[in-house]
Amino acid sequence: MARRSLSNCRVVITGASSGIGRELGLAFARRGSRVLLTARREQELSAVAAECRQCGATAEALAGDVTDPLFRAALVERAVALWEGIDVLVNNAGISAHGRFAESDESTLRQILEVNFFAATELTRLALPLLRQSRQAAIVNMSSIIGHRGLPLNSEYAASKFALRGWSESLRAELAADGVEVLIVSPGTTETEFFDHLIAKRGELPWGESTAIPAAAVAEQTVRALERGRREIFPNWRGRALVAVNRLFPGLVDRALAKFLAASNNR
């Protein structure tokens, strides 16, 4: 049963030039939302905005780096200039690196935290006064299964997504009285360009990408969850199963992952 209508809703989506963000833009557009899309690659972003307009939606693109405080301010200002507010903020932009923590460096860790965590928190801080004025406000934070269960060769990414999830839960309680909902999306492996954009690759994941689900499925489930006022979703059932098993038998999962890693060529 739909609780929130997304028709005419003013939506800002980060990381909209490809993958899940692109599909989210299209899913909102198909529901008649007004979307403001952002990411660094201007050409790809404009193409996504054009696709959204083909769905009959109002779509704008503003290219820039979400880790830049001036750009974040400009993005919020653009939303005000266009629509005098924001109803839904989707913090989706994300990056990762693969490899052992011991072989990585501080700059990789900080870069991942800047995009996946600080850009989301600080963009939200700027958008909050506008969200509080909306009668159907929501913040959507794109976490991951790895925000529930740390996996080897993903320590920096796990840190960023755990942080995002913890912050989201605190925020949800703080904003409840203002009527601003917080939806956490925790996908498992998804078919996107994500693994082509790793900022460092010092090892191959032992489990590969064979169980990936389409980005459009993640986007559709996210938009539906928003319509229904859900708090958190796990679009990939394998990921959900891992989180459930880990809750019951964390030691078993620790041992299985260590064994899996040792048996792979990541010794």
Ligand X SMILES: NC(=O)c1ccc[n+]([C@@H]2O[C@H](COP(=O)([O-])OP(=O)(O)OC[C@H]3O[C@@H](n4cnc5c(N)ncnc54)[C@H](OP(=O)(O)O)[C@@H]3O)[C@@H](O)[C@H]2O)c1
- Binding of residue 25 to ligand X (CB under 6 A): no
Q: How many residues are there in the chain?
A: 267
Measured from the CB atom, the residue of 8 and 198 that comes closer to ligand X is: 198
Residue 194 near ligand X by CB under 6 A: yes
Q: Is-contact 193 215, C-beta < 8 A?
A: no
Give the shortest CB-215-to-ligand X separation in angstroms. Answer: 6
- Regarding 219 and contact with ligand X (CB under 6 A), the answer is no
The reply on whether position 94 binds ligand X by CB under 6 A is: yes
Cβ-based nearer residue to ligand X, 136 or 146:
146
Separation between Cα atoms, residue 112 and residue 219, nearest integer Å: 22
User: Of 30, 47, 58, 65, which lies in the binding site for ligand X, with binding defined by CB under 6 A?
Assistant: 65
Closest CA to 242 of 184, 206, 189: 189
Binding of residue 110 to ligand X (CB under 6 A): no
Contact between 33 and ligand X (CB under 6 A)?
Answer: no
Binder among 95, 140, 151, 183 for ligand X (CB under 6 A)? 95
Restricting to residues 137-156, which ones interact with ligand X according to CB under 6 A? 142, 144
Locate 155 and state its tokens: 């320590």
Give the residue, chosen from 192, 221, 222, 246, that forms a contact with ligand X under the rule CB under 6 A: 192
The nearest distance, CB 180 to ligand X, in angstroms, is 21
Q: Is 13 a catalytic residue?
A: no
User: Least distance (Å) from ligand X to the CB of residue 31?
Assistant: 20
In the complex, least distance from residue 194 CB atom to ligand X, rounded to whole angstroms: 3
Determine which residue in the list 21, 99, 152, 203 makes contact with ligand X, applying CB under 6 A.
21
For residue 68 the two structure tokens come to 């830049």
79 binds ligand X (CB under 6 A): no
Q: Decide if residue 221 touches ligand X (CB under 6 A).
A: no
- Kindly list the catalytic residues: 157
Residues that bind ligand X (CB under 6 A): 14-21, 39-41, 44, 65-67, 92-95, 115, 142, 144, 187, 189-190, 192-194, 197, 215
